[in-house]
């Protein structure tokens, strides 16, 4: 038993006595029993209740106006779901196969996460932060350090902030270098700094220039040797053009927003070897990939454990983090923030990550691989029956994508809206072609769910 475990089991502390009070356990079981009873009403797709439609539309219209922009989907959750199914405020029930763009990895109304949230509600603070951390943050930090093999972990409240911290660490380490390298089609975030790296000009329209970024072509599975050669030569060209001016390269090992493309171990290692030769930091952006591949980290899946310097995670972990080697330890004052995250998020993240590591999700025979294989098999069957309507599948692990119809952005967006109306929530990714993508909830999904969703996909394509 380590020092933290001893503290958390000490009867001297009032908090421990509260957590172990039998009345608390009884109350939790009552809550979970009530949730389970009401979840029984959510067993499949359901259309909106006619009595709720008008009020629902009025609320949607108000929110669109209040936030200054239209919601992508007319989605307002009621606050309950059952696994991969979620109820909306209009009474409809839909399959959630995008999970908040990857956040709700355990599905909706998951009992272990409800229990963790109840425990968090008993804690003295709603938010943990710079001056006040509870034991929860220490426990999550320890889990991430052991799982990653890295030396340091700084928790944060958003993936964009995790990437900002990674950049600050790399810039300070490699000062006065000021340029950044990234892959074409990358997505790093939308803050003032990282929107300069994200390869979407619309995301930085009207914003001042903050970072100088050079883009490297990504791996192309249809031309492995040629695309690898082009990437290597482009990297060498930029390093020669701007000697000692690059502080870091941000790498997505699977491009999330870019369309679920992924490279190979050889592709990444050839580039990283050049970066290392030139003292350029390797930042692995795993905000979307973390926990979705057969290994916990994508850098582990691609055999890059010893190559990376800084790693960022987020989304399904609930709390985001920047992990880094001791050689990149920043000076005091560089990293700080008011909020780390909510206590409920920290506790939920701990449960999700521990379950991924210990409950049969990882490995070639793990649940993530099984989800990939089964989902791909079902989509391949649709592609064989309707080769003009669906191309694919693409992606890896719980990142599943396909190209519907002609792959044009407008067409695919219209298809996704029709799929939403039919009861399945997904999203778009990439361009030329634009793909339909799913970030499926591994902690809740069943083969039966995949069967139902694929039937709806096929029917919607044909319509």
What are 207-219's pLDDT values in tens digits?
A: 999 999 999 999 9
Distance in angstroms (rounded) separating the CA atoms of residues 63 and 70:
8
Q: Which of 3.30.420.40, 1.10.287.610, 3.40.190.290, 3.40.640.10 is the CATH number of 125-358?
A: 3.40.640.10
Cis check for the bond before 96: say yes or no (omega within 30 of 0): no
Q: What percentage of the chain reaches a pLDDT higher than 70?
A: 100
Mean pLDDT, the chain, whole residue set: 96
- Encode pLDDT of 132-169 as tens digits: 999 999 999 999 999 999 999 999 999 999 999 999 99
| Cβ-Cβ contacts under 8 Å for 366 (sequence gap 6 or more) | 294, 360
Reduced to 3 states (helix: H, G, I; strand: E, B; else coil), residue 248 is: strand
Q: Rounded to an integer, what distance in angstroms lies between the CA atom of residue 156 and that of residue 161? A: 7
Q: What is the pLDDT of residue 320?
A: 97
Query: Is residue 278 very low, low, confident or very high in pLDDT (cuts 50, 70, 90)?
Result: very high
Q: Sketch the domain layout of the chain as residue ranges.
A: 42-102+363-463, 125-358
Q: What is the pTM of this model?
A: 0.96
Lowest mean pLDDT among 73-77, 127-131, 265-269, 357-361: 127-131
Closest-CA residue to 191 (of 331, 260, 287, 281): 287
Q: What is the total residue count of the chain?
A: 463
**pLDDT at residue 1 tops 80:** no
What sign results for the dihedral spanned by CA atoms 260, 265, 267, 271?
positive
pLDDT of res. 195 = 94
Q: Label residue 407 exposed, middle or buried (CB < 10 Å: 0-12, 13-18, 19+).
A: middle
pLDDT in tens, 295-304: 999 999 999 9
* pLDDT over threshold 70, residue 343: yes
State whether residue 180 is helix, strand or coil. strand
Span 187-203, pLDDT tens digits: 999 999 999 999 999 88
Q: Model confidence over 349-400: pLDDT tens digits? A: 999 999 999 999 999 999 999 999 999 999 999 999 999 999 999 999 999 9
**pLDDT one-digit tens code per residue, 41-51:** 999 999 999 99
Region 242-261 average pLDDT: 97
Architecture of the structural domain at 42-102+363-463: Alpha-Beta Complex (3.90)
**Phi and psi torsions of 436, nearest 5°:** -85, 135
């Amino acid at each position: 038993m380590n020092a933290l475990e001893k503290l958390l089991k000490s009867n001297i502390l009032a908090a421990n006595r509260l957590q172990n009070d039998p009345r608390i356990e009884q109350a939790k079981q009552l809550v979970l029993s009530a949730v389970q009873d009401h979840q029984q009403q959510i067993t499949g797709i359901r259309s909106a209740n006619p009595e709720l439609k008008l009020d629902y539309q009025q609320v949607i219209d108000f929110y669109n106006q209040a936030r200054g922009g239209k919601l992508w989907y007319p989605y307002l959750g009621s606050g309950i779901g059952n696994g991969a199914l979620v109820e909306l405020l209009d009474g409809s029930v839909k399959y959630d196969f995008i999970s908040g763009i990857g956040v709700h990895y355990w599905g909706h109304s998951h009992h272990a996460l409800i229990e963790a949230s109840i425990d968090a509600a008993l804690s003295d603070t709603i938010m943990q932060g710079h001056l006040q951390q509870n034991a929860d943050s220490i426990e999550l930090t320890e889990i991430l350090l052991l799982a990653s093999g890295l030396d340091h972990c700084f928790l944060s409240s958003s993936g964009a902030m995790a990437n900002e911290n990674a950049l600050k660490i790399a810039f300070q380490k490699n000062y006065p270098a000021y340029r950044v390298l990234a892959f074409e089609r990358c997505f790093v975030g939308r803050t003032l700094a990282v929107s300069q790296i994200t390869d979407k000009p619309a995301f930085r329209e009207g914003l001042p220039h903050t970072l100088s970024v050079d883009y490297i072509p990504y791996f192309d599975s249809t031309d492995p040797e040629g695309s690898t050669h082009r990437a290597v030569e482009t990297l060498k060209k930029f390093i020669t053009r701007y000697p000692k001016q690059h502080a870091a390269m941000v790498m997505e090992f699977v491009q999330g927003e870019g369309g679920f493309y992924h490279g190979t171990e050889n592709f990444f290692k050839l580039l990283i070897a050049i970066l290392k030769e030139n003292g350029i930091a390797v930042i692995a952006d795993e905000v979307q990939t973390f926990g979705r591949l057969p290994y916990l980290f994508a850098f582990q899946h691609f055999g890059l454990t010893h190559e990376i310097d800084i790693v960022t995670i987020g989304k399904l972990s609930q709390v985001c983090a920047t992990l880094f080697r001791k050689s990149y330890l920043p000076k005091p004052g560089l990293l700080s923030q008011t909020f780390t995250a909510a206590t409920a998020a920290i506790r939920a993240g701990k449960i999700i990550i521990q379950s991924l590591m210990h409950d049969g999700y990882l490995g070639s025979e793990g649940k993530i691989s099984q989800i990939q294989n089964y989902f791909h098999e079902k989509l391949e069957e649709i592609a064989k029956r309707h080769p003009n309507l669906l191309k694919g599948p693409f992606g890896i692990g719980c990142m599943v994508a396909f190209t519907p119809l002609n792959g044009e952005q407008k067409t695919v967006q219209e298809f996704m809206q029709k799929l939403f109306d039919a009861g399945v929530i997904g999203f778009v990714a990439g361009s030329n072609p634009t793909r339909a993508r799913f970030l499926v909830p591994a902690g809740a999904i069943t083969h039966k769910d995949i069967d139902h969703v694929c039937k709806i996909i096929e029917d919607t394509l044909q319509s």
